[in-house]
Structure 1
Amino acid sequence: MSKLWFGVCFIILLTMVTGASAVSVENVKKLDINETDLWDPVISPDGTKIAYAAYDDTRNQQIFVINVDGTGKQKLTSDTLKKWGLAWGPDKIAYTSFGKDGLEKIFVINPDGTGNQQLILDNTRQGNAAEDKPPQWAAPSWSYDGKSLAYTTLDEKTDPKIYTVNADGTGKKLVFKDNFKQWSPSFSPDGNNIVYVSYNDRYNQELFIIDIEGTARRQLTFDEINKNNPVWGPDGTITFVSYENMTSSNEKIFAINQDGTGRRLFVDSDYRQGNPTFSMDGTKFAYDATDSAGISKIAVGDIVGITVTPSPIVPAVTTPVATETIEPAKTAAQTPKVEETPEGSAMKDVALTMVLALAIIVVLMVGLLVLSDRFKKK
């Protein structure tokens, strides 16, 4: 009997120590949209609608909005220019297209199709280079309060760098400068940090986190498998697109904790996955799922196991002005160093937890054995 009770207590304690439910996606459904080719889906802050880019009947690239149940499709744009890199903020949808100068520019549009305008009025290339089917990591990122937008510029003399700009197109600021390419930024829920993709010293594509002042940078992932499209969820979970191993053929969506621990497969399916997107209220998760024939569908699921204390979503005024102040880039002496691997402190926490758990188990085991001996003597 003592062995049985010991086993029961061990299972209970193990569940207490390790059983905190991780954020996951359930009830995933693919939207039945009459599109043979679509890309860059983004979900609205309240989780009720999805915006995406696709071809219209004239084979021009347009932006569409649809309800998460697949109804109510609406076309927002009607010009003939390519569009990609969507990001849905508290009251605007940002996307990348071509400006009058023929360069890639970031535009904003209201969810009802009104107010379509270029956000940043300068002569730089913004977002990412256009292709017939644009890459998954071209989108800018809204801060959760809608006051700022982070994006990649392409006009640097060396490599693309990440900038932030106010929601009205002013206050353009280089986050920091190093000798590597930077792309695919995503704001943390509190707006104080940005996760992005860059190369490490061995030129592997890894995830990094930097504060918005550009003073403290740390590497989040440490393997040789390329990563793209990180998205910082409202509870702190970071999702990204990568491969399960070096021989995998299909990209999948993974999740990782913001301290670099807990890497795991976030969406389990046979489809190639890309463009993960959280609703800001923490209720829905969407991504594009591509089958073996190359047909992409939007998949939407419910987020479970999430606790969100969101920042107030305040509508931002987004009327661009023709002048702006570009803050100077940090000098080489000010360039932040990459901090040591975050796994060190995380491992200490894990080790301490395990020691405490083992101590409790030993105490309970001894107590149960003593009680068992007393019962036997009686």
Structure 2
Amino acid sequence: MTKFNTYLAALLIPCLALFAACNSNNKATEKPTAMLDTISLSAKNFGLAYQDGNKIVATSIDTLKQISFGGATNPAISPDGNKLAYTVLDSAEHRTIWVADMENKSQSQLKVNNDNYYQAVWSPSGNAIAFNIFNDKKLWKVGIIKTDNTGFIILDNESKINVYSPTWKNETQLVAHDLVNLYTFDISGKLVETKSIIDLIGKEFSLSSSNRFFYSKDGKKLIFNAGNTDIMDGLTGPSEAVYILDLASKKVERISPKGMNVPYVFLTADDRIFYSGAEKPFTENKIYVADLSGNIKTVVDKGTNPTGALK
């Protein structure tokens, strides 16, 4: 088990502040971009990104090499580990997604004509980014943009369906849910499949908009986190855990241990399950990685919202 300590802190190189500004709603609004706490990033192998208080951290899996960004949330590391997408909240409460190239230190905002989009997720190849976006009809939808900052579209934009927490099913399809149904969209924006969540996982789970569903690489399993009926003294709200549904047998197995609350889960394109969870007194989250068989390893002793790159 790895702990962050003064040895690791000494590895961080003094801060280089990167600044930018952009327009929102045709008004010049200064946006605080993330502050990158390093100068030289070459020859570093980043495999994990996560939230640590009011900053996000990109690190090697062994946590011996790391950089951090202040003023950012919702970290999403690219599959190759070279880029980091994150959400920036400005003084007018606008949420936008930025992407940092961790080798040349550049930062740029995604070219999306909107001021409320967040929670980036990279496609398996790293060629596109999906995210939740609040459209002009005041509905939550899924947006997609190529990583060269072209080709922005909103999926199923004309329907009256709210959808939350998008993830990639494969390179050409995404999934999102509305607490009742799990929807599959293709990247052209077409709704191709609707499945009842109760029919998939049963009635014993409760969902929030932040819960996410991931298909395994072979499409045979569904990995998700959801509320359950566990009673945990000292926990406000329902307890959540990580589960795997075998789509053929319809059997649901719990991955995270009992006694732990798990509000966040992420599946890499090579089927590693990263999640953050807390045990009593539920004040400090750790980050874990598991395989589809349920073998679990602690990765970070303090952190939330992990995302992983490919090995």
TM-score of the aligned structures, taking structure 2 as reference length: 0.66
- 1:121 to partner: Cα distance: 4.5
The CA deviation string for residues 100-150 of structure 1, in whole angstroms up to 9 with x for no partner, is 8751001111345822221224343111xxxxxxxxxxx222111112211
Once the two structures are overlaid, the 10-residue window that deviates more, 255-264 or 87-96, is 255-264
The one of 256, 264, 280 aligned to 1:292:
280
- 1:198 to partner: Cα distance: 0.7
Count residues in correspondence.
240
- 1:68 to partner: Cα distance: 2.3
Whether 2:217 is the aligned partner of 1:234: answer yes
Contact in 1 for aligned 2:47/2:61 (Cα 8 Å):
yes
Correspondences of 1:299-378 after superposition (within 5 Å):
299-304=288-293
The one of 99, 103, 110 aligned to 1:108:
99
- 1:161 to partner: Cα distance: 1.1
Distance in 2, Cα, partners of 1:170 & 1:50? 26
Calculate percent identity across the aligned residue pairs. Answer: 18
Whether 2:182 is the aligned partner of 1:207: answer yes
- 1:281 to partner: Cα distance: 3.1
Structure 2 residue aligned with 1:263:
252
- 1:166 to partner: Cα distance: 1.2
Distance in 2, Cα, partners of 1:171 & 1:149? 11
Distance in 2, Cα, partners of 1:113 & 1:276? 30
Structure 2 residue aligned with 1:253:
242
Structure 1 residue aligned with 2:62:
69
- 1:31 to partner: Cα distance: 4.3
Contact in 2 for aligned 1:31/1:299 (Cα 8 Å):
no
Name the larger-Rg structure.
Answer: 1
Once the two structures are overlaid, the 10-residue window that deviates more, 100-109 or 253-262, is 253-262
Whether 2:78 is the aligned partner of 1:89: answer yes
SS of residue paired to 1:69: coil
Amino acid at match of 1:216: V
The structure in which a higher percent of residues are helix is 1
Contact in 1 for aligned 2:183/2:191 (Cα 8 Å):
no
Amino acid at match of 1:229: R
Structure 2 residue aligned with 1:219:
195
Distance in 2, Cα, partners of 1:180 & 1:260? 30
Structure 2 residue aligned with 1:8:
none
Structure 2 unmatched ranges of 5 or more: 6-44, 233-237, 295-308
Amino acid at match of 1:172: F
Contact in 2 for aligned 1:49/1:67 (Cα 8 Å):
yes
SS of residue paired to 1:188: strand
The CA deviation string for residues 189-212 of structure 1, in whole angstroms up to 9 with x for no partner, is 3x2221112143xxxxx4332333
Amino acid at match of 1:235: D
The one of 32, 42, 50 aligned to 2:3:
32
Amino acid at match of 2:225: V
Amino acid at match of 1:74: I
SS of residue paired to 1:231: strand
The CA deviation string for residues 251-277 of structure 1, in whole angstroms up to 9 with x for no partner, is 001122467933322333421113222
Distance in 2, Cα, partners of 1:259 & 1:210? 22
Structure 1 unmatched ranges of 5 or more: 1-29, 35-46, 56-60, 128-138, 201-205, 306-312, 315-378
- 1:87 to partner: Cα distance: 1.9
Structure 2 residue aligned with 1:124:
115
Distance in 2, Cα, partners of 1:184 & 1:86? 14
Whether 2:166 is the aligned partner of 1:185: answer yes
Distance in 2, Cα, partners of 1:285 & 1:116? 28
Contact in 2 for aligned 1:232/1:238 (Cα 8 Å):
yes
Contact in 2 for aligned 1:220/1:260 (Cα 8 Å):
no
- 1:155 to partner: Cα distance: 3.8
Amino acid at match of 1:62: K
SS of residue paired to 1:171: coil
The CA deviation string for residues 18-69 of structure 1, in whole angstroms up to 9 with x for no partner, is xxxxxxxxxxxx64246xxxxxxxxxxxx972111223xxxxx222122323
- RMSD of aligned Cα (Å): 3.2
Pick 1 or 2: higher relative contact order, CA cutoff 8 A, min separation 6: 1
Structure 1 residue aligned with 2:154:
174
Cα distance change on mapping 1:88 and 1:181 into 2, 3 Å: same
Contact in 1 for aligned 2:123/2:129 (Cα 8 Å):
yes
Structure 2 residue aligned with 1:244:
228
The CA deviation string for residues 2-25 of structure 1, in whole angstroms up to 9 with x for no partner, is xxxxxxxxxxxxxxxxxxxxxxxx
Distance in 2, Cα, partners of 1:218 & 1:257? 18
SS of residue paired to 2:178: strand
